[in-house]
Amino acid sequence: MHTVSGGEVAGILVAVFWAILVSFLAVALARLAQTLKATTKLVADVTDQAVPLLADASSAVRSAQTQIDRVDSIASDVQEVTSNASALSTTVASTFGGPLVKVAAFGYGVRRAIGGRKEDLPGRDVPGRQSRRTVIVGRTVPAARRTKRKKD
């Protein structure tokens, strides 16, 4: 019978330990390989879907830029029309405003002068003044009722 020495037992233990270690490393590497394969497939799928989406987004951004350019040109046109209308309004007001006020004042003065002279003419029968009426909430109140309200 052959006796096993301590060095041989130690060598067998080291060999078994290395075999177990290599087995664990092989399993870990196999799982890592599966994970990398799944990740590669996922990245490929995302790339296949992302490229058309990016193309659509790019065309949408170009379209939006075109619309913004149009709105900008419309806004500048509106600003120009507004400034032209303001200038026209100022011109019309300065051209016709002063003379119209003067004509209105002249007409008022003429009416006052003619109205005052008719009352002063002797022998003319000028009708009496109409009684004034007070308007309350959309109704006209006769003069008799108005005086009663003032006394109350």
- Per-residue model confidence as pLDDT tens digits over 70-91: 999 999 999 999 999 998 888 8
Structure tokens given for 40: 């590669």
- Mean pLDDT of all residues in the chain? 82
- Cβ proximity of 117 and 124 under 8 Å: no
On the 0-12 / 13-18 / 19+ scale of CB atoms within 10 A, 135 is exposed
SS3 136: strand
Q: Taking the CA atoms of 119, 125, 128 and 130 in sequence, report the sign of the dihedral they define.
A: negative
Stated pTM of the model: 0.38
Which residue has 């009416």 as its token pair?
A: 111
Backbone angles phi, psi at 130, to 5 degrees: -75, 150
Least reliable range by pLDDT among 16-25, 54-63, 109-118: 109-118
What pLDDT score was predicted for residue 152?
A: 46
Residue 119's pLDDT band (cuts 50, 70, 90): low
d(CA 20, CA 113): 128
